[in-house]
Structure 1
Amino acid sequence: MCVFAPIHITHCWHIRLKPDACCGCEQPQLLASVTLRILFAASEVFPLIKTGGLADVVGSLPSALMAQGADVRIAVPAYRDWRSRVETPQQRLQLSLHGHTVTVWEAKHPQLDAPLWLFDCAELFDRPGDPYHDAQGLPWLDNGLRFGLFSEAVAIAAEARETTGFDTDVLHAHDWQAGLSLPWLRERDGLAAGVFTIHNLAYQGNYPASLCQALGLPAQWWQIDGVEFHGELSQLKAGIVYADHVTTVSPTYAAEIQTAQHGIGMAGLLHARSTHLSGILNGIDTEVWNPQRDKSIAYRYDARRVTAGKRANKTALQQQLGLTVDDAPLLIGVVTRFAHQKGIDLLCDALPTLMRHPLQFAILGNGDPFIAATLRAASEQAPGRIALHEGFDEALAHRIVASADVFLMPSRYEPCGLTQMYSQRYGTVPIVHHTGGLADSVTDTTEQTLADGSASGIHFLNADVGGVLYGIERALQLREDSRAWKAVQRTGMARDFSWAPIATAYLSLYRKLINQRRPAL
């Protein structure tokens, strides 16, 4: 008996399916040419709101998916002043959830291809500060409630095709702030496939068990194979457990988080889900990060003019930051958060030894007060050699990437990382700890990789002071061989870090998941 006929009649996918062979088909398959409708759910999206790399991914991947024929919506909370940043908002849905009214607006942002779905609940999201912290930098005490309620509203909206006009095929939730959307989707017998992406396992959204009652979570979810995690509600775990497939932002990170060293208490769960877990490396915006068109840098260049271009930019940056104008020292760029994860404390500890070498540092970032104070003192002790700019400045970040000879990323762990990709685009040789996305996106320079033309940077194996010293000393040695140095620069500049191949990989995953779910429909 052909199982295609009932599906053809009863489900809204009927115009998008075909039988493998009419009458006697094994199972209907989704046509590769069919438009997939994807709903992204996340706590931030660039350029509307950004605190980190998550916003860049959610702002860029939908455009790449749409370029390959998908139809995408981006669900995000409606933070303070959202109306002034979007165009033509139209109400799509209004919900009453646990004493809160949530209004879903669809709007356009001039720099985004995908329409936004803004989840408006003033008492939860119309607040000063950033999405997670108040104006003094302290976490909002009700973050678990805020994003738990957002997640439930997303799941409802994903199934509200009659009112939204959007028939969701795949709900793609990002990080713990959207984690509960996936069990809610299943609880509502949602037809959409569910994908959950872990951008950083360290942020788990763990809250007291009492939050379950405030969010009205079904009692059966509270179990070891559900949302319970050491006596607390884990919204990250909810996403991992209830997703049809879990992705991370690099293949190496997907393997690392299944180990005790990097699993942060969830290694066993992730290993148990290993057949439904994969890593897909993030991409970058190759139009924004393009040395041939970058308006933020002093001198634009391509691979043919990389030596002259970088020398001109180096001089301009040295003048701007008060560094001694001299092409001889190896200029090391650092653009990062001052945090333990990023390993900047290792650089601080290595500085006394490093200052014996012909080096300069251009450092941009903020974060941990102790690290900031240490770097501030170092810059005062070595004027002309260490320049520190505290805070974040997008234009200065571009100038450092374009001007530095090398770019240092000593992260203890790095799910993906983007700046090592930016630096390669600009012919700036990355020095990276061999971990996560750094290992996947930078090819270490060895005799073999120089010979086969794949070398694009420098790895060091140990996340300690010795590792940092070793990586920088290797860079000094490599620079002495001008032919090898230029080869590494040009290889990096030729690499494709665009979103197009990443979008292709996700579309393939989406179609596979839809077809796997079809027998249950």
Structure 2
Amino acid sequence: MRILFVGAEAAPIAKVGGMGDVIGALPKVLRSHGHDVRIMLPYYGGLEQWFPTPGKPVWQGSAMFQDFDVFETLLPGTDVPLYLLGHPAFAPKRIYAGPDEAWRFTLFANGAAEFAWNYWTPDIIHCHDWHTSMIPVWMHQTPNIRTVFTIHNLAYQGPSKAQLATMTWCPDYMQGHNAIAAAVQFADRVTTVSPTYAQQIQTPEYGETVEGLLSFISGKLSGILNGIDTEVYNPETDPSLAQNFGVATIDRRPINKRELQKEVGLTPNPDCLLMGIVSRLVEQKGLDLVIQTMERFLAYSDAQLIVLGTGDRYYETELWQLASRYPGRVGVQLLYSEPLARRIYAGTDVFLMPSRFEPCGISQMLAMRYGSIPIVRRTGGLVDTVTHHDPQHGQGTGYCFDRYEPLDFFACMVRAWEGFRYKQPWTALQTRAMRQDYSWDKSAKDYISLYQDILGKPEAALTSSGTVPSATRA
């Protein structure tokens, strides 16, 4: 199969959230199964640090009265062809935000459609979030190109239909009051990044006002759980860590805790419960629960906390003030740092994700991979990836609570703090968590089955050999 992934992010070169992990990892696995998978991404400023500056464009096009260039390279560390859509609107290093966000991503989607019509024609365009929402609409009358639309976060639905009509071509048959509503109606299949989230978004609590529409198209809606790149995220080989370790050498892991405490200004103490948060600091991630409960929990216990991330000014200020009141016990790093994030996964004892909603979540899987026990609210993908610890029967991989209430979160932290005191069962819990398989292999097979179903052909008819064609025009 010929599959073109189109999205706003792709790890490691342009990553803000889970979408970047998906687009950066899934195509590589799909190519290993013999499919010709390629990626299209905006040519953001600063990408040259990842690869030599591409030479002449492989194709030039026009959309929305704008000329653009398409350059070709490879996603770093892979054999996945990467097409970069170059236009002055993407010259800044930022990915999101700005007054022109709706316009620039509508231009990107339009350019990707023109590219597929005129240069490299895929069997399937796999579109990601509202930034590519118009592609399924435009491809509706192109029978040789099918579309899959993946919802990574329904809270962001893109511009209204009226705004789109002022920027680009909206066909007469187009329906839907905004970009997301149009995409889910015209895509051949709609997916979310976890099975539970696919069910939740059909309810008023999580449906963000489009739950009725999502229920209406539920026959083509499914959830496929995200994975993690287990080659890139491997505590046995990760160069970011002070000490590498694995399941068989978990006794080496405490060195990472000690070095992390020193790095972020916490008092080195191997016996305290060290908690970690790596997150966008926004309401969705449950920061309200953290702010309401953490001071009391710190007074109740000897625990420490390290927070890494940026976001809303309110949460940044509240966490910074908490750190000032608890020097040596709370460290707050208001920045983005992938190496430090990995050291937090490898050095903390527990990882906090008390999300109000969570389409899938990657961090809890990475935390388990590195031996940090997740404390999560049972919502979205957290339900599908973390099971509650049952010490009596030696089962479970984390601590879970149901209601979005401070008392429930507080009680869950207390249970983890008490469990940490019993070293042998705790090590067994860490080992179970580290042995969980959240690689992309199973999810890739689910996507392949989905693509096959859309095209109505068996896999044998779609791939003539186990090799993938080179990234040249076909």
Task: State whether TM-score is above 0.5.
Answer: yes
Shift of 1:430: 0.6
Counterpart CA distance in 2 for 1:397 and 1:186 is: 42
User: Which residue in 2 is equivalent to 1:514?
Assistant: 455
How large is the RMSD of aligned CA atoms in angstroms?
1.9
Counterpart CA distance in 2 for 1:466 and 1:89 is: 58
Counterpart CA distance in 2 for 1:81 and 1:327 is: 40
Instruction: Report SS of the residue matched to 1:118.
Output: strand
Query: Does the C-alpha gap of structure 1 residues 49 and 469 become closer, same or farther in structure 2, counting only changes over 3 Å?
Result: same
Counterpart CA distance in 2 for 1:210 and 1:298 is: 50
Pair member with larger Rg: 1
- Among 41, 54, 61, the residue aligned to 1:95: 61
Q: Say yes or no: does 1:300 pair with 2:244.
A: yes
Gaps of 5+ in 1: 1-35, 134-138
Corresponding letter in the other structure for 1:322: G
- Among 467, 470, 476, the residue aligned to 2:411: 470
Shift of 1:502: 1.2
User: Which residue in 1 is equivalent to 2:444?
Assistant: 503
The one-character-per-residue Cα deviations of 1:26-59 (angstroms, maximum 9, x if unpaired) are: xxxxxxxxxx111001012122222222112111
User: Which residue in 2 is equivalent to 1:50?
Assistant: 15
Corresponding letter in the other structure for 1:334: I
Counterpart CA distance in 2 for 1:392 and 1:284 is: 19
Query: Does the C-alpha gap of structure 1 residues 242 and 330 become closer, same or farther in structure 2, counting only changes over 3 Å?
Result: same
User: Which residue in 2 is equivalent to 1:32?
Assistant: none
User: Which residue in 2 is equivalent to 1:400?
Assistant: 344
User: Which residue in 2 is equivalent to 1:195?
Assistant: 148
Shift of 1:85: 4.2
Q: Does the Cα contact within 8 Å between 1:59 and 1:112 map onto a contact in 2? A: no
Shift of 1:273: 1.1
Shift of 1:309: 2.0
Q: Does the Cα contact within 8 Å between 1:424 and 1:493 map onto a contact in 2? A: yes
Q: Say yes or no: does 1:146 pair with 2:109.
A: no
- Among 338, 353, 362, the residue aligned to 1:409: 353
- Among 15, 18, 37, the residue aligned to 1:72: 37
Counterpart CA distance in 2 for 1:503 and 1:40 is: 14
User: Which residue in 2 is equivalent to 1:336?
Assistant: 279
Instruction: Report SS of the residue matched to 1:63.
Output: helix
- Among 428, 442, 446, the residue aligned to 2:390: 446
The one-character-per-residue Cα deviations of 1:138-180 (angstroms, maximum 9, x if unpaired) are: x22x3222222322222232233xxx3x441111000000110
Query: Does the C-alpha gap of structure 1 residues 214 and 376 become closer, same or farther in structure 2, counting only changes over 3 Å?
Result: closer
Q: Say yes or no: does 1:130 pair with 2:94.
A: yes
Equivalence map 1:299-448=2 (5 Å): 299-306=243-250, 308-355=251-298, 356-446=300-390
User: Which residue in 1 is equivalent to 2:466?
Assistant: none
Gaps of 5+ in 2: 459-474
The one-character-per-residue Cα deviations of 1:466-492 (angstroms, maximum 9, x if unpaired) are: 122011011123223433322221111
Instruction: Report SS of the residue matched to 1:58.
Output: helix
Shift of 1:319: 1.8
Counterpart CA distance in 2 for 1:516 and 1:184 is: 24
- Among 287, 291, 311, the residue aligned to 2:231: 287
- Among 112, 121, 127, the residue aligned to 1:173: 127
Corresponding letter in the other structure for 1:168: P
Instruction: Report SS of the residue matched to 1:366.
Output: coil
- Among 30, 40, 44, the residue aligned to 2:5: 40
Q: Identify the range of structure 1 (483-492 vs 340-349) with the bigger mean alpha-carbon deviation.
A: 483-492
Corresponding letter in the other structure for 1:120: G
Tell me the TM-score normalized by structure 1: 0.84
Counterpart CA distance in 1 for 2:347 and 2:266 is: 12
Corresponding letter in the other structure for 1:442: V
Q: Does the Cα contact within 8 Å between 2:260 and 2:347 map onto a contact in 1? A: yes
The one-character-per-residue Cα deviations of 1:117-143 (angstroms, maximum 9, x if unpaired) are: 222222x322x241223xxxxx22x32
Shift of 1:392: 1.5
Q: Does the Cα contact within 8 Å between 2:351 and 2:375 map onto a contact in 1? A: yes
Corresponding letter in the other structure for 1:304: A
Q: Identify the range of structure 1 (288-297 vs 249-258) with the bigger mean alpha-carbon deviation.
A: 288-297
Shift of 1:454: 4.4
Higher relative contact order (CA 8 A, sep 6+): 2
- Among 431, 434, 454, the residue aligned to 1:490: 431
Corresponding letter in the other structure for 1:206: P
Q: Identify the range of structure 1 (357-366 vs 59-68) with the bigger mean alpha-carbon deviation.
A: 357-366
Equivalence map 1:198-213=2 (5 Å): 198-207=151-160, 209-213=162-166
Instruction: Report SS of the residue matched to 1:220.
Output: coil
Corresponding letter in the other structure for 1:371: Y
Instruction: Report SS of the residue matched to 1:402.
Output: helix
Counterpart CA distance in 2 for 1:100 and 1:378 is: 49
Query: Does the C-alpha gap of structure 1 residues 330 and 107 become closer, same or farther in structure 2, counting only changes over 3 Å?
Result: same
Corresponding letter in the other structure for 1:429: I
Counterpart CA distance in 2 for 1:118 and 1:63 is: 17
Query: Does the C-alpha gap of structure 1 residues 181 and 288 become closer, same or farther in structure 2, counting only changes over 3 Å?
Result: same
Q: Does the Cα contact within 8 Å between 1:95 and 1:153 map onto a contact in 2? A: yes
Q: Say yes or no: does 1:214 pair with 2:172.
A: no
Q: Identify the range of structure 1 (260-269 vs 462-471) with the bigger mean alpha-carbon deviation.
A: 462-471
Counterpart CA distance in 2 for 1:210 and 1:62 is: 32
Q: Does the Cα contact within 8 Å between 2:242 and 2:256 map onto a contact in 1? A: yes
Q: Does the Cα contact within 8 Å between 1:148 and 1:180 map onto a contact in 2? A: yes
Identity %: 38
User: Which residue in 1 is equivalent to 2:83?
Assistant: 117
Shift of 1:209: 0.6
Counterpart CA distance in 2 for 1:401 and 1:214 is: 43
Counterpart CA distance in 1 for 2:130 and 2:77 is: 26
Query: Does the C-alpha gap of structure 1 residues 408 and 487 become closer, same or farther in structure 2, counting only changes over 3 Å?
Result: same
Corresponding letter in the other structure for 2:159: N
